[in-house]
A and B are shown apart, each in its own frame.
Chain A
Amino acid sequence: MTLFLRAYLALIVGFIFLPIVVSMAFSFNDARFPTLPLSGFTTIWYETIFADPDFWRAAKNSLIVSGCTCVIATFLGFCTAYTDYRYSFRGKSLFLAIILLPPTIPLIIIALAMLAWFSRVGMSGQVVSIIAAHTVLTAPFAMAIIRLRLSQIDESLEAAAWNLGASEWRAMREVILPFCKPAILSSLFLTAAVSFDEFTVSWFVSGLNKTLPVHVLEIVQGTIDPQVNAIGTLVFGVSITLVVISQLLIFFRLQKAAS
């Protein structure tokens, strides 16, 4: 790679991560207003948020939502990916197109539509509604990750299991699931991460059951408060950890397959 490309890459990474780094830095800064130079180190903002019951309620909601979303989305993603791998049927490409549709729709449209729909069916403003909405958003990612893994399988593998006496369910448990395990784990982490820091849809459908990103917005709307930096840093920390674990799982698996 040439020096120019390296510099270009560094600039892009800088552009993406600088705001986050700045926010992290200010979360430990003991001034009320975010101005340079930094005045001194403090953990007061973290102490403030940890003492705030609103923060804990939002954190609990976020954990419940991302925890449930990742399980449901990965389950649905696995089912559709397996359907695609195993069966061919009329209208299969339409089926796949519809499944992969949600990420192509602007979030604000999905959010509004969800809000309208949930209030119509009497489900608005509940934790369950956020879970349902996030599942719609993340299931296509789960499906894509697991589908990629299934595309690497030796097609005789499942038949070999039947041939050795495994029923279809048994073969699923003994062969397909172990084979897909890295992708399933990766999908769990990735969908949890997406759900954990998703803001737009959560803001519309959460009502009084705020998640962390919604809580952050509400603080920002009121005042300039360095608490926001502290919460942001925590949310970022959780999400990036989940994403990195997810990527490592995919990366090592692909590398192994290639070698």
Chain B
Amino acid sequence: MTEPLVVLEKVEKRFDDFVAVTGADLTIGEGEFVAIMGPSGCGKTTTLRMLAGLDAPTSGEIRIAGKVMNAVAAHERDTPMVWQSLALFPFLNARENVEFGLKMRGVDAAERKTRAMNWLERMEIAEFAERNVETLSGGQRQRVALARALVTEPQLLLLDEPLSALDAHLVIRMQSVLTKLQRELGITFVYVTHSQSEAFAMADRVVIMSRGEIAQVGTPREVYRAPATRFVAEFVGRNNILPGKVAAAMGGSVTVETALGAFAVPGEAAVGADASIVVSADMMQVGGGENTIEATVISEEFVGSIVTAFLEAKDGTELKVQVQERVLADLDLTAGSTVTLGWATKDGHLLVEGT
């Protein structure tokens, strides 16, 4: 039986007293696009650096292609990385930057040049090959960085927030470049980001980290629709979270008693357990539903076709509802007005605390 390309087993990394990563178990398959996301300081970059061999795990084991990597030096691995700062060598031109990895592997000059030029052409920047990298635009530099990392034809590419320095429109463009590239090459991408939109747009699976621990692993849809912990529910998008206690349970459905009333939600939990109901903002309806809450409109946020309205229930709980901009006129969502929000029972997600 062949094991997945990347395996992390109970990986922990401490810096003196600070625990950067703890109890990390994760497998990443060949050809997968995995995004590791979380707020800053959650351990995502440390995890990536451990895969690159730039930090050694304090305990636990990391295997790549079946080989234990804990003690393998960074330069003896084939795990190129695209850096947040890009880390292009400023004293080399674009082509020489791309050639660097080949040069370190003792490839002769003529072949280096051919292979580097192939990659620069593939990234559509061959015309800038002899230019100083400092004179290139952000998008062009990004492409040089990608070419430099991929020129050695690795099985695994690590990306550390590579798009964070780009303008919004370039981010979208580079996202499609990356997903296309990953499909064509069929290699594994491990992509670290704090941006949910980047992670959801590109990844097959996302890993959400919080305070050094992996909080949830799943497809973007699973993580979005069924957050495993309160942290994930809060971190991922616009969720309404109604905390309470399980009052009754029967046949795949429980009733949770919250400060805003008792609501039914699909799921299993013991009576008396602390639990929350999570309803994403796009599942909330204005006007009514199987479960309803009265709330006062505070403000709205317009981002194009979708408008998010922020409301406050009578006990102060913040609620969010997303509606299509074209139907906004039919609803009375002016600030200060009181409306009824509702959702279908099946659209609620049960979150049992302490699991």
Contact residues of A with B, CB < 8 Å?
154, 156-157, 159-168, 170-171, 174-175, 178-179, 181
A160 & B81 in contact (Cβ 8 Å cutoff):
yes
Min CB distance A180 to B, Å, is: 10
Contact residues of B with A, CB < 8 Å?
52-54, 73-76, 78-81, 83-85, 87, 89-92, 100-101, 103-105, 148-149, 152
Tell me the complex Cα distance, A157–B84, Å. 11
A160 & B104 in contact (Cβ 8 Å cutoff):
no
B104 & A179 in contact (Cβ 8 Å cutoff):
no
A165 & B81 in contact (Cβ 8 Å cutoff):
no
Min CB distance A256 to B, Å, is: 8
Least CB separation from A179: chain B residue:
B91
Out of A154, A165, A175, A179, name the residue touching B75 (CB < 8 Å).
A165
B91 & A159 in contact (Cβ 8 Å cutoff):
no
Q: With A154-B85, A164-B80 as known contacts, state yes or no: A181 contacts B75, CB within 8 Å.
A: no
Given contacts A157-B89, A165-B78, A174-B100, 7 further A-B contacts (CB under 8 A): A161-B100, A162-B53, A163-B74, A164-B152, A165-B152, A170-B75, A181-B91
Instruction: Give the dominant DSSP class at B's interface.
Output: loop
A164 & B85 in contact (Cβ 8 Å cutoff):
no
Tell me the complex Cα distance, A156–B81, Å. 11
Instruction: Give the dominant DSSP class at A's interface.
Output: helix
B104 & A175 in contact (Cβ 8 Å cutoff):
no
Tell me the complex Cα distance, A250–B73, Å. 35
Least CB separation from A182: chain B residue:
B91
B87 & A156 in contact (Cβ 8 Å cutoff):
yes
Tell me the complex Cα distance, A154–B89, Å. 9
Out of A154, A162, A165, A178, name the residue touching B91 (CB < 8 Å).
A178
Tell me the complex Cα distance, A174–B148, Å. 15
Q: Give the 5 A-B residue pairs with the shortest CB-CB distance, closest first.
A: A165-B104, A160-B87, A156-B87, A164-B101, A162-B74
B91 & A164 in contact (Cβ 8 Å cutoff):
no
Tell me the complex Cα distance, A68–B90, Å. 31
Least CB separation from A152: chain B residue:
B90
Min CB distance B129 to A, Å, is: 18
Question: What are 6 sample pairs from A and B whose C-beta atoms fall under 8 A apart?
Answer: A159-B87, A163-B74, A164-B75, A164-B104, A165-B104, A178-B89
B74 & A159 in contact (Cβ 8 Å cutoff):
yes
B101 & A165 in contact (Cβ 8 Å cutoff):
yes
User: Cβ of B75: which chain A residues have Cβ within 8 Å of it?
Assistant: 162-168, 170-171
Least CB separation from B100: chain A residue:
A164
Tell me the complex Cα distance, A132–B249, Å. 86
Least CB separation from A153: chain B residue:
B90
User: Cβ of B104: which chain A residues have Cβ within 8 Å of it?
Assistant: 161, 164-166, 170, 174
Min CB distance A127 to B, Å, is: 36
User: Cβ of B54: which chain A residues have Cβ within 8 Å of it?
Assistant: 159, 162-163
User: Cβ of B52: which chain A residues have Cβ within 8 Å of it?
Assistant: 163
Q: With A162-B54, A163-B81 as known contacts, state yes or no: A154 contacts B87, CB within 8 Å.
A: yes
Tell me the complex Cα distance, A96–B79, Å. 36
Min CB distance B236 to A, Å, is: 29
Tell me the complex Cα distance, A168–B54, Å. 12
A163 & B85 in contact (Cβ 8 Å cutoff):
no
Least CB separation from B151: chain A residue:
A164
Tell me the complex Cα distance, A175–B149, Å. 16
Tell me the complex Cα distance, A166–B87, Å. 14
User: Cβ of A160: which chain B residues have Cβ within 8 Å of it?
Assistant: 81, 83, 87, 89
Min CB distance A229 to B, Å, is: 44
User: Cβ of B100: which chain A residues have Cβ within 8 Å of it?
Assistant: 161, 164, 166, 174
Tell me the complex Cα distance, A181–B101, Å. 22
User: Cβ of A166: which chain B residues have Cβ within 8 Å of it?
Assistant: 75, 100, 104
Residue among A156, A170, A175, A179 with the highest chain B CB neighbour number at 10 A:
A156
Tell me the complex Cα distance, A163–B103, Å. 13
Min CB distance B71 to A, Å, is: 15
Tell me the complex Cα distance, A179–B88, Å. 12
Least CB separation from B79: chain A residue:
A163
Least CB separation from A256: chain B residue:
B134
Min CB distance A219 to B, Å, is: 47
B90 & A163 in contact (Cβ 8 Å cutoff):
no
User: Cβ of A163: which chain B residues have Cβ within 8 Å of it?
Assistant: 52, 54, 74-75, 79-81
Min CB distance A109 to B, Å, is: 42
Min CB distance A167 to B, Å, is: 5
Min CB distance A193 to B, Å, is: 26
Min CB distance A245 to B, Å, is: 20
A164 & B148 in contact (Cβ 8 Å cutoff):
yes
Tell me the complex Cα distance, A171–B152, Å. 18
User: Cβ of B78: which chain A residues have Cβ within 8 Å of it?
Assistant: 165
A179 & B90 in contact (Cβ 8 Å cutoff):
yes
Min CB distance B109 to A, Å, is: 15
